Structure 1
Amino acid sequence: MQRRRFIQGSSLLAATVLLPQCATSKQGKADRLRTAHIGLGFQGRSDLEAIASHPSVEVVALCDVDARMIAEVQGTYPNARAFEDYRVMLSEMGGEIDAVIVATPDHSHAPASLLAMQMDKPVYCQKPLTHHVSEAREMDRVARERKLVTQMGIQVHSFYDYRMATELIRSGIIGKVDTVRAWSPKNWGYNGPQPTKSDPVPEALNWDLWLGTAPERAYVEDWYHPTNWRKFLDYGCGTLGDMGVHIFDTPYNALELDVPLTVMNECRPPNGYGFPENNIVTYEFPGTDYTGDRLKWVWYDGPGAPAGHPELQLPNGDALPEQGAVFVGEKGRLLLPHFMEEPRLIVDGAYQNIDAEIADAAASLKLGEPIRNYASESPKHYHQFVDACLGKDETSAPFSYAARLTEVILLGVVAGRFPGQTLHWNAESAQFDEAEANQYLAGDYREF
């Protein structure tokens, strides 16, 4: 079988991933969308169910490197063809696929998505959009050039309370914002040593395909696949990459931020293998219409997060939500729990009643009454993508937005390699002023 480079002419992934010659793309009918699903682990199955619940969707292909994952869902979609290699799937079924959903570990997001986009396929890709900054910029570029429908999997972006908070901040309820503090106590880090053992690879798992473009590494049972890969540099993006994308999303969107001027991470020294278990990442952003001349953003993650700070103290001695964000403005603070709770206004150390403001915002956005049920609300973000592919809607988290949000997140991840050092980011050149940090903006891609 003849093979070719999967990104011809790209400075990002050229000379990395090989695949069979691809079939010509064929447009789907206006009243249905034929979908292919890459990655069928926990999140992939959730994505599959949400996409397939749209009445216009026909699932035609399922792909996972672990045959056990395919077996768990194939009975529900008996007419879908099964594959272990997404390159083969896209080669053999290119003309029968209208859109691709990617829910692999982070390091495979860009290789799979870019290949599909180069075949002019709309793509729904899970968060964070990519594993490296260079990949995020490339995905944005390709999507724009090919005018593709795209959506990043940040389902809560479409939820009532997040849209409400965005409207309240833009209405000036706390004036111009000068600081955002956000947190998650999740621990997608690892401070221990690398394993020295290796285990037999399960017969159902193609370990070489799971590694994909990542460096060669021995299989260790229950260590990377199927759930713990987020902890490790080669595959995930730590807690910041997992929860930061969700919790950054609303403040980032509400304040119309772009990329930061500087970033600094207070964490343990790098060990070259796992992400730090605790991070305090401080960004400085240029000002916008909704902020002061500069915006300070502080992210806390890991066990015990967030660290105590006066701006995080709540009235009546209340405990902070387990995860969330606080906007600090000229007139007060707005607390936004994560998730499915209304934002709360705090002025002069006391909660303020904002029922009227919330009612006005809900009316303005045509939100109706809040529905705080994840199972019923989550599919809306997926259905928005399907409808956009069918020309009936627009996506709210296209790659043009998602790539910049992901870039912000990944700059904080890179800063973890240089604890306590302020790194200066040049948005135009997509480089740090500190040259030693630039080696972590792109991957050293393995051929597989």
Structure 2
Amino acid sequence: MKRRKFIKDTASFASLTFLPSAVWARTRNAKLRTAHIGVGGMGGADLKSISSHSMVEVTALCDVDANRLADAKKLHAHASTFADYRKLFDEIGKNIDAVIVSTPDHTHAPASLLAMEMDKPVYCQKPLTHHVTEARAVRKMAEEKGLVTQMGIQIHSFKEYRSAVQLIQDGIIGKVHTVRAWSPKNWGYNGAAPVGSDPVPDYLDWNLWLGTAPKRNYKDKVYHPGQWRKLLDYGCGTLGDMGVHIFDTPYTALALDVPKTVKTKCRKPTGFGHPEKNTVTYEFPGTAYTTDTLKWVWYDGPEAPKMHRDLKLPNGDQLPEQGAMFIGKKGRLLLPHWAFPKLIVGKKYESVSYPELEEVDHYHQFVDACMGKTETSAPFSYAARLTEAILLGVVANRFPNKKLHWNNASSSFAETEPNALLGGTYRAF
């Protein structure tokens, strides 16, 4: 293929410079021609939502699973189909205007970087990347090329979460000193790597599914579909999945960057799966909305969160299954996952006057931005920083009970050993 040099070393992107991106140059009435990489599961939902925009023309569909590709083709009969996203770009790259990446995490950066190398705006599912080095490379390329980008973190645009951002920044609970966030989901696996192999289904291209990840034998029901989130080579565990959603609003509201330190409490690393239960404690530099430093504690896995006085609710109420609690000098703000925030002062709930906000469609916002009508709210310049913070916790899971010190300027830990896990070697496939 013509455009595969990126596979050799992700870090090489950090030193590249680019000419400014071409702007939307087609006629005002022309539709945005989209290519969708990954069309099953969340990819199917992304395809449905992007294509619901009246100015979108689905031009290409790509998936390593022929069954999922066939289902998507039924809905978009005129779209070209591919198993390999590299062939898509080589054969019809000139005929597409924007790319949607909805693959397992380990393919997010390779596909997005290749699309952006061709000056294509990119909508990429969360977490933005699988490795910290990829997050920095993706951000650098998007910014230097001036491309429209959006991370697929749909709740970022929901009124409930935008209301919480405004309330916090308006000082409803004063300066915030602690955030506690949680999800009881278990995207972890404490067992050993499987042995042996199973026949690869005739509908699945296993080599393309692995992509840049290390070569591994296929095992039925271990990797595809769905279970990859639990495994180090392909996903980012519960922290990388639900953590991105639940971190997003506090991260935005408090105008955070990347943390100074991170420490985890979990089982010893196995070299294959993410931990099933996990507590991560971050320390962030202070901002205009926090005290001098901010403590952030994340809990995941069965029975999360561990109870703490910061999380006790009035009237003996139960915590929502997933959510975040802001603890400030004047009170607390509870933000349930998918609900409006609740103000707690002392031991009582207090009424809240929510700001009047317009509805925003996160997907349509991306399409409109590609056509020069608006800007995206979760561009890679933002998404990469949020993802980096999350991924530093994922790295720290391999060093339980050890505080790691992050240097934002040098993109490295003060401790030597974890720096080897900030990136990965891409397999030629």
- Look up the match of 1:154: 153
* 1:346 equivalenced with 2:338 (yes/no): no
- Look up the match of 2:395: 414
- Look up the match of 1:367: 358
CA–CA separation in structure 2 for the residues paired with 1:350 and 1:329: 15
Residues 166 and 253 in structure 1, CA contact (< 8 A), matched pair in contact too: yes
Deviations 1:31-83 (A, max 9, x none): 31000000012100000000000000000000001111111111110100000
Shift of residue 410, structure 1, vs aligned partner: 0.1
- Write the letter of the residue equivalent to 2:124: C
- Write the letter of the residue equivalent to 2:317: D
* 1:400 equivalenced with 2:381 (yes/no): yes
Residues 181 and 299 in structure 2, CA contact (< 8 A), matched pair in contact too: yes
- Look up the match of 2:62: 63
Deviations 1:180-200 (A, max 9, x none): 000000000000121113110
Deviations 1:208-242 (A, max 9, x none): 00000101111111110011000000000000000
Residues 325 and 336 in structure 1, CA contact (< 8 A), matched pair in contact too: yes
CA shift in 2, pair 1:300/1:9, >3 Å: closer
* 1:311 equivalenced with 2:310 (yes/no): yes
- Look up the match of 2:269: 270
CA shift in 2, pair 1:90/1:28, >3 Å: farther
- Look up the match of 1:74: 73
- Look up the match of 2:129: 130
Shift of residue 206, structure 1, vs aligned partner: 0.5
- Look up the match of 1:87: 86
* 1:144 equivalenced with 2:143 (yes/no): yes
Deviations 1:400-433 (A, max 9, x none): 0000000000000000000000000000010000
SS in 1 for 2:11: coil
Shift of residue 30, structure 1, vs aligned partner: 3.4
Residues 9 and 426 in structure 2, CA contact (< 8 A), matched pair in contact too: no
CA–CA separation in structure 2 for the residues paired with 1:117 and 1:264: 34
Residues 331 and 345 in structure 2, CA contact (< 8 A), matched pair in contact too: yes
User: For residues 187-336 of structure 1, what are the structure 2 equivalents within 5 Å?
Assistant: 187-336=186-335
- Write the letter of the residue equivalent to 2:426: Y
CA–CA separation in structure 2 for the residues paired with 1:198 and 1:9: 28
Shift of residue 389, structure 1, vs aligned partner: 0.2
- Look up the match of 1:111: 110
SS in 1 for 2:141: helix
- Write the letter of the residue equivalent to 2:348: A
CA–CA separation in structure 1 for the residues paired with 2:332 and 2:422: 35
CA–CA separation in structure 2 for the residues paired with 1:312 and 1:7: 46
- Look up the match of 2:95: 96
CA–CA separation in structure 2 for the residues paired with 1:232 and 1:270: 12
Residues 424 and 432 in structure 1, CA contact (< 8 A), matched pair in contact too: yes
CA shift in 2, pair 1:441/1:30, >3 Å: farther
CA shift in 2, pair 1:10/1:205, >3 Å: closer
Deviations 1:336-378 (A, max 9, x none): 0001x21111111111112xx31xx22xxx437xxxxxxxx7x
- Look up the match of 1:387: 368
Residues 26 and 94 in structure 1, CA contact (< 8 A), matched pair in contact too: no
CA shift in 2, pair 1:91/1:181, >3 Å: same
- Look up the match of 2:418: 437
Shift of residue 12, structure 1, vs aligned partner: 2.1
Q: How many residues align?
A: 420
Q: How many percent identity over aligned positions?
A: 64
Residues 26 and 95 in structure 1, CA contact (< 8 A), matched pair in contact too: no
Residues 41 and 226 in structure 1, CA contact (< 8 A), matched pair in contact too: no
Residues 64 and 205 in structure 2, CA contact (< 8 A), matched pair in contact too: yes
The gaps in structure 1 that reach 5 residues or longer are 15-23, 369-376
SS in 2 for 1:12: helix
- Write the letter of the residue equivalent to 2:129: T
CA–CA separation in structure 1 for the residues paired with 2:87 and 2:340: 46
Deviations 1:226-273 (A, max 9, x none): 110000000000000000000000000000000000000100000000
CA shift in 2, pair 1:231/1:288, >3 Å: same
- Look up the match of 2:185: 186
Shift of residue 291, structure 1, vs aligned partner: 0.3
- Write the letter of the residue equivalent to 1:133: V
| Root mean square deviation of aligned Cα | 1.6
TM-score normalized by the length of structure 2 = 0.95
The gaps in structure 2 that reach 5 residues or longer are 14-21
- Write the letter of the residue equivalent to 1:447: A
Deviations 1:83-117 (A, max 9, x none): 00000000101110000000000000000000000
Residues 62 and 80 in structure 1, CA contact (< 8 A), matched pair in contact too: yes
Shift of residue 8, structure 1, vs aligned partner: 9.0
